Amino acid sequence: MIRTPLNRMRCHKQNPHSAIALIAGIVLAVAAHAEPYSAASMWQLQRLAEPDISPDGRLAVVPVTRYDVEKNKGETALWLVPTKPGKARQLTSSPGSASTPVWSPDGETIAFVAKRGEDKQQQLYVIAVDGGEARRVTNVPTGVIAPKWFPDSKRLAFLSQVWPELNSWPEMEKRMTERNEAKMTARVWDKAPVTRWDHFLDDRKTHIYSISIDGGEPQALTLAAGVSLDAGEPDANSYDVSPDGTEVAFSANVDPTGVESNFDIFTLPVEGGSPQNLANLTKDNTADDTAPLYSPDGKLLAFRQQRIRDFYADRSRLMLFERRGAKLRNLTEDWDRSAEGLVWSPDSGSLFGAIDDAGTRRIYRFEVGGGTPKAVTREHSFGSLAVAGSGPVIVGLRQSFSEPPTLVSIIARTGAATKLTDFNDALLSRLTPGKAESVTYKGANNEDVQMWVVYPPNFTPDRKWPLYLVLHGGPHNAMIDGYQWRWNAQIFANWGYVTAWHNFHGSSGFGQAWTDSITKEWMAMPYEDTIKAADWFRAQPWIDSERMAAGGGSFGGYLAASLLGKPHPFKTLVAHAAVYDSYTQYASDYGAEKKRYGEYWEDVERFARNSPHTFAGNFNTPTLVIHGQQDMRVPVNHGLELFNTLQNRGVPSKLVYFPDENHWILKPQNSLFWYETKRQWLEKYVRPGPGEPSGAAATENKVSP
């Protein structure tokens, strides 16, 4: 067992008044709320997606999804929301969810993607801002992705995945029909990748098209250029249209092998898009260049650049390409964070970004002239930014452990946020959230590890409580002060567990050295950080060290499986979508990609010591194993191998298998089953709720959780 001396642990909130403040807040919260924060109530909450903003900054449009658990599906409608507090208005109501709304430059029309009526694939629709019926613009058999406006407000660009060798849309429709109805179902590949997340890839390519808002024949913009966009997950970040409408910029993978991806930034004239007119702006960089974004004045093209090939979590620099002089500048080389979620200010003088930063997602401002990026917000997490108008007006989604994504406006100068929507206020007012706080403890290499702790609503430190330590996925992600639909800490806390997420070595948002610290040895330090997190809790008088559990999904599942074979204090473990055997992970959707530090046949010992299956002879902890058949990121064989190994060894274990889910449990009724099954499993081995007295009176002098 690894232990940390008590005097080497520290908490952000250790002043003598914190215990009384926490307890008083909990008592008031419980009195003001009436319902437990359950999985069923969570599914009643409406979910907001990425907004857009009108050119004058006066209105925002936001997709809002409401789920019908009985029907096991959701419907998404578009809502118009004033950017100064006012009454929201529903814009779309027809059956068939609407998504990815984009506002026309003249401010009169909103384009969006939907599948309505007899549509076989998602199509492009437009609707007047002042109301009326939406009108379908496309009838593309291969579907529409990520629409964007041309500056004249008369044309739209979009992505579609097509067969380049076919010359007409009827030919594509025929091929799709033939493949869907074919009795012979074999599929053949001669180059990776084969899968992506939850589906098999086919031989189509992603290209940019344009079409008049009056309809007609879509025109191919990139089809003749000899390169195509991302086939796996194309979206609005894959391309952009210049402010004068004469050029498109896009990111395309130039790797011919399929095993060493290298995305470059290309530009191409809208008219005459041939290979001769194609310009590769980043051909000298062998790592990924992504997310092109023209400045409103058309002078600059911003994009993100990584430098380490074969490492998805390398720091993304904010690059600016000066179009007139063809000069490239790096705005953030000396800044130890990744540039993400970028949008331009209307005056082209700066960009705003939603940045993964030390356990939160903060808004930062990047001046075009250079200098250190400046934090705009401090508390909670913000994302999905849209900017327009004078000031400028910024809207985005704010969230925290207790607040689901909520549309807000943000003052660029101060970071002050004003809440604009109340879709969930009535329900949230009845629920009992637990208090969340950030603590820090000493982990591997005696380095500080940040951790979020969410307390049960009725928590008092004069009793001993059980712990559920949640292990986040990635591993190069972070647990931020944000709302989780799939692993909701408020639900776990309402079951009666002190719930925690620690940002172990390898997590993002704490500097590149921290992120990169585990890429060669991915088990040792996250394991040690987890044990020392448990030791931190065991040192607290209000934690029952005999009632501790841990669990996670993806890399968190891998970490749970790693704990199985090593010393640990947990009475039970939960392993969801767990990588169990590092060798068989070659079957994953990224399995063919070159590994940064070599392949398993080149370094068998390193792979073995980093693979949970190597330590199966030590397994003896009761474990709940969960996996989805459609998971291509961590194929289902891992869950079956882990469960069968546990059964072979006589370890109490349960396998929960979802034939219609992927890496995540997304369907309402499956999610409810997932939560209830986990609740019952945890309760069996780690009794929830307060236990015996802690020996610490709830006074300001003795307790500071």
What's 498's domain CATH number?
3.40.50.1820
Whether residue 18 is contained in a domain is answered as: yes
Strand partners, 78: 63
Which residue is listed with tokens 């200098």? Answer: 371
Give the angle subtended at the CA of 399 by the CAs of 467 and 52, to the nearest 5°: 155
Count of domains observed in the chain: 1
The tens digit of pLDDT for each residue in 626-648 reads 999 999 999 999 999 999 999 99
The tens digit of pLDDT for each residue in 500-522 reads 999 999 999 999 999 999 999 99
Whether residue 476 is contained in a domain is answered as: yes
The tens digit of pLDDT for each residue in 343-402 reads 999 999 999 999 999 999 999 999 999 999 999 999 999 999 999 998 899 999 999 999
Whether residue 119 is contained in a domain is answered as: no
Model pTM?
0.93
The tens digit of pLDDT for each residue in 46-85 reads 999 999 999 999 999 999 999 999 999 999 999 999 999 8
Residue 137's Cβ-count burial label (10 Å; 0-12, 13-18, 19+) is buried
What is the share, in percent, of the chain residues with pLDDT greater than 90? Answer: 91
Q: Please give the pLDDT value at position 506.
A: 98
| Tokens, residue 610 | 């980093």
Whether residue 491 is contained in a domain is answered as: yes
Q: DSSP readout, 456-483?
A: -TT--TTB-EEEEEEE-STTT----SS-
Residue type, 478: A
Whether residue 303 is contained in a domain is answered as: no
| Tokens, residue 221 | 């913009």
Neighbouring residues of 218: CB distance < 8 A, sequence distance ≥ 6: 138, 140, 158, 160, 169, 209, 210, 211
Residue 109's Cβ-count burial label (10 Å; 0-12, 13-18, 19+) is buried
Which residue is listed with tokens 């009795």? Answer: 183
Give the Cα separation of 631 and 32 in Å (integer): 41
Q: The domain containing residue 456 runs over which residues? A: 14-40+428-585+598-685
Q: Please give the pLDDT value at position 33.
A: 57
Whether residue 251 is contained in a domain is answered as: no
The tens digit of pLDDT for each residue in 289-343 reads 999 999 999 999 999 999 999 999 999 999 999 999 999 999 999 999 999 999 9
Q: Read off the pLDDT band of 697 (50, 70, 90).
A: low
Give the mean pLDDT of the chain: 94
Going edge to edge, which strands form the sheet with 135-136? 98-103, 109-114, 123-128, 135-136
Whether residue 400 is contained in a domain is answered as: no
Q: Read off the pLDDT band of 95 (50, 70, 90).
A: confident
The tens digit of pLDDT for each residue in 590-626 reads 999 999 999 999 999 999 999 999 999 999 999 999 9
Residue 509 Ramachandran class (φ > 0 left, ψ -120 to 50 alpha, else beta): left
Residue type, 226: G
Whether residue 57 is contained in a domain is answered as: no
Q: Please give the pLDDT value at position 273.
A: 82
What is the share, in percent, of the chain residues with pLDDT greater than 70? Answer: 94
The tens digit of pLDDT for each residue in 125-145 reads 999 999 889 999 999 999 999
- Whether 687 shows a pLDDT value over 70: the answer reads yes
